[in-house]
Structure 1
Amino acid sequence: MNTRPQLNPADRQVALYAGFNQDSSCFSVGVDNGFHIYSADPCELQVTRELKGGIAIAEMLGRANFLALVGGGRNPRYAQNKVIIWDDAKRKPVISMEFHSAVRAVRLTRTKIVVVLTGHVHVYTFSSPPTRDHVFETYDNPLGLVALSTQTLVFPGRTPGHVQLCDLASGNISIIPAHTTPLRAITISPQGDLIATASEKGTIVRVYSAANCSLVCELRRGIDKAVVYSLAISPTSHRLAVTSDKRTLHIYELPTYGRHPSQASNSRPSSAMSNGPVSGENKRWSLLGKLPLLPKYFSSEWSAAHSEFEGGGTAAVGWVAEDAVVVVSVGGGKDGLGEPRWEKFVLVESMNGGGEECLREGWRRYLDND
């Protein structure tokens, strides 16, 4: 029998934001009275900072002492059109940046601050005060979609479904017509060689080469429309993880063909261009796709492994190893159900010899509300 007293919903700590740092070794959580930082594997609280108000964005800079904070929640700590650069070594703000509209997302490198508004992306040199390098116009981007590597910035184009790639050194822009409907998720690999995109339809994920903007592969998440929450490419660019409102984590094997030769030279060989089935450690292509006159639906690659996650609300995914991912859910959601959870999944060889399985290895309620 459960004899623990029921918590009043008003007393429960609510996650306003959850996101990984650049290598997914940590994740940060914004709450109504500040922010927390956790190690990703194992899930352990590292830092708690209590502030007089809510934090809707707490973007980390690797494991450095700087974070970008944006206010939010019922009682925002900072105005939602401001970015505060927080120095955790000094435990105080050191830079304040104000904009004409609400800030949707922030990304940091050691040399750049990228601020995303609904219709623009601002790029600054990380200095005090910051100096603005570029401003790019985008299609309406209320989700603050953006991805950043050391050399490349990726964000929505001016046309729905298009992606812009900015070389941060030169400021040159390339355009990828990735989808015909507005974007819902984008990511860039840790190596900076691959870009993955999903649209509002959520049935197809496309992967492109960052070197030449060519299509590397097309991945089918499912048949029914879904809201894709998060995309993440593994450390060696061999796998892609996808979470959606179907509460399912999909894992895909990525081919090495179609990439820049320098990116693929040390990767495992792929037989995806052959006429026979692909087996072993490579890919699971739909065999029906090799038959003539069938719709393109049958030629998309299906996930190599999948599993269900249980946390509520949106769910960010990050690779903690080449064969292990962590899903961090913020709780709540459209139905008001669910809870903030950390869940770890590992890829293991199937017992029946049919490739790999995705198994949940552990989970916890990271806010310890109960």
Structure 2
Amino acid sequence: MIEPIAELRTGEKVRRSGSSPDRQSSGSDGSPELQRLSCASFNQDTTSLAVGGKNGYRLFSLSSVDRMDCIHQGVESPDVCVAERLFSSSLMVVVSRSAPFRMNIYHFKKGTEICNYSYSSNILAVKLNRQRLVVCLEEALYIHNIKDMKLLKSLLNTPPNPTGLCALSVSHSSSYLAYPGSVTAGEITLYDAVNLNEVTVISAHASHVAAISFNASGTSLATASEKGTVIRVFSVPDGDKLFEFRRGMKRYVSISSLSFSADAQFLCASSNTETVHIFRLEHHRPSQESPSWSGYMGKMFSAASTYLPSQVSDMMHQDRAFATVRLAAAGMKNISALSTIQKVPRLLVASLDGHLYIYNIDPQEGGDCPLVKKHRLYESADEGPAASELEVGSPSYAATVATSRNQDSPSSSSLTGYSEDGGAKRGELIPEHEFADGPLRLDDEQEFPPVSSQDT
């Protein structure tokens, strides 16, 4: 079996260098929509936000509306295109455009690289929970045990997936992986990443799927097609359709993200348009013995829909958005998430223009959501220091890794792909990591993914 190359760095301290902040001049027209970031991602419980750019990545806390604390700034890898954090631990997964085939895993509080793996082609996405780490290439998926990075399963020759579309559930009781299951239709393959077997194939849409997302408990899966007009929610693991929402009818859009609220009562969808839609996940109870005129017409309307073409009938039964957000501009990719910050429901929109937008949500009435705060996520010499710029001597600065790896070393650019006999063998375990201040504890939430009591 073809295996990825793994480089195990036992307690290797990363060298520091004074790299300048991420700088990128604005366009000639001064357009604020200029893309300043390469990637943005919320962690699994939406308590932090990671953003990547030309000079590394930054990690922000989402505990407050009024301020954005930068809890870490890393420049180990330049031009970061993937930056993912595991919950509130110190484990960060980073992929750089300078070596897009290599995944680096860091312990950012200790300033160390845990290991890195190289693959045969560019890494398009990385998903992780407390049990598994999944690497997505265009035509392959690799499932690792996150506790020791052992390669458990290689899903080769998967349908072409040029955008790296995949989702991994984050619940403690399950670990489902969803990815495109067909090259011609909007099918989703549901895979059990714990037991390593295919569960079912969901026929989600007529056209290709553009976005997928699990709820926090891993019991529901939301999908959107490339047309972007219809969003559906399916039960997991059986794949039954639970909800269907219509985002719009006038134009096709490119939906960039779907996200459930923590209680799975709401679902938000953001796209390349200026509108973010929030849908309420509730089953409407049909009026049973209503003597009212509206009740009578409702029954007649429902009965008539059974005689109409299926496409028209489906449209009659689709729910519309419960709440909406109007962004300042369209055309810039953004990632949205629903969260509760300071006991108030919020919609968070991280845009690649370099800003985080925070909106309030009325969970009872819905409607238009007001913007309450806008934070800058990048640094620019022209605009002064970012609100969350690190200060020397501050606690967050002590946790900062400002490093630059030697790109000429055999551990980086010389690893151009797979090796049958080189690198770590399949099943090789990461050894005990010894650092200057003690070993890495795998049961410490602040250091690494916690393990169950029977494993400690």
Q: TM-score range by the shorter chain?
A: 0.7 to 0.9
What amino acid does structure 2 have at the position aligned with 1:298?
A: M
Q: Per the alignment, in what secondary structure is the counterpart of residue 315 of structure 2?
A: helix
Structure 1 residue 226: Cα displacement = 0.4
2: CA distance, partners of 1:102 / 1:153? 20
Q: Give the TM-score normalised by the residue count of structure 2.
A: 0.66
Structure 1 residue 364: Cα displacement = 2.1
Structure 1 residue 88: Cα displacement = 0.7
2: CA distance, partners of 1:276 / 1:309? 43
C-alpha distance 288-253 of structure 1, shift in aligned 2 (>3 A): farther
2: CA distance, partners of 1:53 / 1:113? 22
1:296-328 CA-to-partner distances (Å, cap 9, x unmatched) read 323211101112123662111112128322010
Q: Per the alignment, in what secondary structure is the counterpart of residue 23 of structure 1?
A: coil
1:180 to 206, 214, 228: 206
What amino acid does structure 2 have at the position aligned with 1:168?
A: A
Structure 1 residue 355: Cα displacement = 5.3
Whether contact under 8 Å (1:13, 1:31) holds in the other structure is: no
Asked if residue 126 in structure 1 is aligned to residue 136 in structure 2, the reply is no
Q: Per the alignment, in what secondary structure is the counterpart of residue 122 of structure 2?
A: coil
2:181 to 132, 157, 161: 157
What amino acid does structure 1 have at the position aligned with 2:138?
A: T
Asked if residue 342 in structure 1 is aligned to residue 339 in structure 2, the reply is no
Q: Per the alignment, in what secondary structure is the counterpart of residue 133 of structure 1?
A: strand
Give the length in aligned residue pairs.
Answer: 325
Seq. identity, %? 25
2:316 to 274, 298, 303: 298
Structure with max Cα Rg: 2
Unaligned 5+ segments in structure 1 are: 1-6, 256-269, 278-284, 332-339
Q: Considering only aligned residues, what root-mean-square deviation do their CA atoms show, in Å?
A: 2.6
1:162-220 CA-to-partner distances (Å, cap 9, x unmatched) read 11111223223111010121111000001111100011110000100013210001110
What amino acid does structure 2 have at the position aligned with 1:363?
A: K
**Residue equivalent to 2:227:** 201
**Residue equivalent to 1:239:** 266
Whether contact under 8 Å (1:243, 1:315) holds in the other structure is: yes
Moved over 6 A (4+): 287-290
Q: Per the alignment, in what secondary structure is the counterpart of residue 371 of structure 2?
A: strand
Structure number with higher relative contact order (C-alpha < 8 Å, ≥ 6 residues apart): 2
Which residues of 2 match residues 1-370 of structure 1 at below 5 A? Answer: 8-9=25-26, 14-40=36-62, 41-42=64-65, 43-51=68-76, 53-72=78-97, 76=98, 79-128=99-148, 130-135=150-155, 137-149=157-169, 150=171, 151=174, 152-159=176-183, 160-173=185-198, 174-223=200-249, 224-255=251-282, 270-274=283-287, 291-292=304-305, 293=307, 295=312, 296-310=314-328, 313-321=332-340, 323-331=345-353, 340-348=354-362, 356-369=367-380, 370=383
C-alpha distance 355-87 of structure 1, shift in aligned 2 (>3 A): closer
Whether contact under 8 Å (1:104, 1:118) holds in the other structure is: yes
Structure 1 residue 290: Cα displacement = 6.6
Structure 1 residue 116: Cα displacement = 0.3
Whether contact under 8 Å (1:348, 1:359) holds in the other structure is: no
Please identify, of 117-126 and 134-143, the stretch whose mean Cα deviation from structure 2 is larger: 134-143
Structure 1 residue 87: Cα displacement = 1.3
Whether contact under 8 Å (2:140, 2:154) holds in the other structure is: no
1: CA distance, partners of 2:35 / 2:190? 38
1:253-284 CA-to-partner distances (Å, cap 9, x unmatched) read 112xxxxxxxxxxxxxx43444699xxxxxxx
1:22-69 CA-to-partner distances (Å, cap 9, x unmatched) read 011111001111110012343332211233521100011011111111
C-alpha distance 61-329 of structure 1, shift in aligned 2 (>3 A): same
2: CA distance, partners of 1:24 / 1:236? 13
C-alpha distance 45-310 of structure 1, shift in aligned 2 (>3 A): farther
Whether contact under 8 Å (1:125, 1:133) holds in the other structure is: no
Unaligned 5+ segments in structure 2 are: 1-23, 28-33, 291-297, 384-456
Structure 1 residue 288: Cα displacement = 6.4
Whether contact under 8 Å (2:77, 2:96) holds in the other structure is: no
**Residue equivalent to 1:261:** none
Q: Per the alignment, in what secondary structure is the counterpart of residue 153 of structure 1?
A: strand
Q: Give the TM-score normalised by the residue count of structure 1.
A: 0.81
C-alpha distance 128-274 of structure 1, shift in aligned 2 (>3 A): same
